[in-house]
Structure 1
């Protein structure tokens, strides 16, 4: 077992959910936002989601409808990335990859228009109302939407367990840099583990779908 495998606050249980970030067709297929690593980490994510689909939430990033849409800098963003607007992509490209979409339901999706799933939503309240205090984070990108997901979870006081071999990014350099930050700068609030350790440790006692 790696020295990085550390559940210092104990095994997650009935108060944990798996929050899987943006494993969508537009990142898996040959688009301008293609993530080459996605296919490599997908089997790990599938294993976690299959183990507890009723406790899995898949976030989906929804691009602007067309170039010229968006508020402030997001308008400029979609001028730069006009090819990744809904008008150009087609609505089917926001879907989860097939290996994960088959798990919905009992897993569910949570749509967002920005990097963070916490902005403009009541996700934190939904989780608190369901008795959730821990989020297990997988998906992509390590240095963009995963980063926003982790920072928001910390701000709302959730325990964060980051599954390091179930994360993907577009570049080795920024992925490695962010993993160093997660494990060191945020080491008091973020636990980094392997898929193997998570699956060996996470055994919730009862069925409880997160609505």
Structure 2
């Protein structure tokens, strides 16, 4: 089991808050609702408000039309044809309103797969910067957050996962992934509360 708290010290100017896919697409009433999203939104909003210039939001952008995606993603979007861009209100791709107001100065990176690292935009944005710590929030714990965490670990970033600011549509796999982050990645993931982060982020 990972040690609790910010075991590697406070976070500061070299920290980027990476908020994953908190979009209208996943809000209650959206086509892919994540019921917990509203529960974690206040914690995320407080973190963003404290350091908007050190925040980057990712947005998951569905395929344009059913079947229009590479490889197995084409099958995925035949299954989810109703959520392709040609079949939804394009505004559903936007951030939830209480977070969208922070852009700018917060930044946006769009992605078409689970990981924000695959398409290269995030790597390009961080290249040459002083960022060495990623504070990760958003959804879903067991899908896009997982892909984000693993990519950050592979690149050698200090990873701080905010436990009350991540959400999933499935309680069982959320709980399983939180155990995974705390145990199997105990040397590379610090799982802490938003209050702990806010108290130490200078």
TM-score category (smaller protein): over 0.9
Residue 164 of structure 2 aligns to a residue in which SS?
A: strand
Runs of 4+ in 1 over 2 A off after TM superposition: none
**Is 1:136 equivalent to 2:135 in the alignment?**
yes
2:65 is matched with 66
- C-alpha distance in structure 2 between counterparts of 1:194 and 1:87, whole Å: 39
2:35 is matched with 36
**Is 1:57 equivalent to 2:47 in the alignment?**
no
Q: Between Structure 1 and Structure 2, how many residues are aligned?
A: 201
Any stretches of 5+ residues in structure 2 without a counterpart? Answer: none
Correspondence 1:112-127 to 2 at 5 A: 112-127=111-126
8 A contact 2:116–2:148 mirrored in 1:
yes
1:12 is matched with 11
Any stretches of 5+ residues in structure 1 without a counterpart? Answer: 204-211
TM-score by length of 2: 0.96
Residue 49 of structure 1 aligns to a residue in which SS?
A: helix
Cα distance per residue 1:127-156 (max 9 Å; x no partner): 241210110000000000000000000011
Correspondence 1:85-164 to 2 at 5 A: 85-164=84-163
**What is the RMSD of the two structures over their aligned residues, measured on CA atoms?**
1.2
2:44 is matched with 45
Q: How far is the alpha carbon of 1:83 from its aligned partner?
A: 1.1
8 A contact 1:124–1:156 mirrored in 2:
no
8 A contact 1:165–1:194 mirrored in 2:
yes
TM-score by length of 1: 0.92
Residue 18 of structure 1 aligns to a residue in which SS?
A: strand
**Is 1:80 equivalent to 2:79 in the alignment?**
yes
1:207 is matched with none
